[in-house]
Amino acid sequence: MADASADADTVTDTVTDADTDTVAVADTDADAVTDTDTDTDTDAVTDAVAAPGPGPHLYNRRMRPAALSLLFLTLSLTPGCRAPAITPPPGIGTMVYVNGAAITNYHPTPALRTRRTLVDRAKYPAVDVHCHWEVEADPVAMLAAMDERNVRAAVNLSGGFGDDLDAMLERFHAVDSDRFIIFCNIDFSRIDEPDFGPAAAAAVRAAHAKGVRGLKIFKSLGLRIRDGSGRLVPVDDPRLDPLWAVCGELGMPVLIHTADPVAFFAPIDERNERWMQLKRHPDWSFHGEAFPTRDEVLAQRDRVFARHPGTIFIGAHVGNNAEDLTAAAAALDRHPNLYVDISGRVAELGRQPYTARRFFLDYQDRILFGTDRYPGRADQPRYRIYYRFLETADEHFDYHAHHFPPAGDWKINGLHLPDAVLKKIYHENFDRILP
């Protein structure tokens, strides 16, 4: 699950960051953008040049003849952070230093002025296809939050199995079985049992009879789940084929999270654009020989799509190809039974607005709305920022409401999608999958 989100404060912040003649946006720590001109005026593009010492040696392109150099580095203030002879304060934030002078909790007020649009409610009723909540959540309070944000229905992908699933169904379907849609999960601890596949399929069939509408597969499949021999269970393990088949038979979509952002499979060093995030959550890293490559895990997933064309699959988080929409498009082209949700990836989509808008227009029938949170969650609610991203032409605004960038150090831009496309993404595509 991706870290970070935005609340109401995000859309009321002064929108923008100044373009500068120096290095306001640079390839800094792991949370910095890869392309230094992504969120700045083209005249302010800076180049990173190899230099000795901690951090990149940066200089402005227009100052190159004078060979004016500026040491500029943003550091996460976490324990063990590699910094010059400067002691960071405790906690997490951004430090900028130039030679011996440093400033902590760096968050400059930009001079750029652009349009700021507050979007409290979705323009059209929304189905949030990617939510997670525990059975202790208050369904009445959640319905009130849904009404406030124009969320018609919410899909809980953490329904569980066995007694936990029964408790979830009883608590939420007793209040509203149409607006609270529950997906079940699989008990992979039984993977070594000879009849695991048929038994798992039977469990899904029984869950469907109780009102479960779909199946959620977590990213642990292919990355962490091991059988009794110690071998990682691949996504395309043939023992799981009865599971995929029964979902197709029952018309239950499978929302599957496979792999993770590219940065999670890369070394956690000064070149990793999500360094700060991975320092905070080192268990999110899948770099190293203990794990298969990202490409390998995605290939396993795609073989399942191909083997089960009668089953609808929803690739979580833009199929985990939000950084490479060409690859996401190719997967959609190869597999007509594949859809994708946008949950947890607005930060990635919004930093490539031209490419993202083309992708949304080209695949408007295959994209679903989702947040990876749930309506009424007190910390990090995402709805306003997602609505703003989809509906407005606002430029260069925060995808978060933290005092530090929780995923990567960049801004996002709105896509200003046509009404017909918004309707499809908010609910029409979902209604076609689950009428």
The phi and psi torsions of 411 (rounded to 5 degrees) equal -110, 170
The phi and psi torsions of 357 (rounded to 5 degrees) equal -65, -40
Is pTM beyond 0.85? Reply is no
Within 10 Å of residue 82's Cβ, how many Cβ atoms? 11
Look at residue 404 in the predicted model and tell me its pLDDT: 80
Rg (CA), the chain: 23
Look at residue 101 in the predicted model and tell me its pLDDT: 93
Stretch 82-102: mean pLDDT, rounded?
Answer: 71
Domains of the chain: 18-103 (no CATH), 126-433 (3.20.20.140)
pLDDT beyond 50 at 136:
yes
Stretch 133-144: mean pLDDT, rounded?
Answer: 97
DSSP H stretches of helix in 308-352: 316-320, 325-334, 346-350
**Range scoring the smallest mean pLDDT among 77-81, 335-339, 358-362:** 77-81
> 3-state DSSP call for residue 49?
strand
8 A C-beta contact, residue 62 and residue 21 = yes
Strands 70-71 and 57-60: antiparallel
Look at residue 373 in the predicted model and tell me its pLDDT: 94
Stretch 179-193: mean pLDDT, rounded?
Answer: 98
Tokens of 28: 């800094």
If one compares 179 and 8, the residue with the highest pLDDT of the two is 179
Q: For 237-293, how does the pLDDT look when each residue is reduced to its tens digit (9 = 90+)?
A: 999 999 999 999 999 999 999 999 999 999 999 999 999 999 999 999 999 999 999
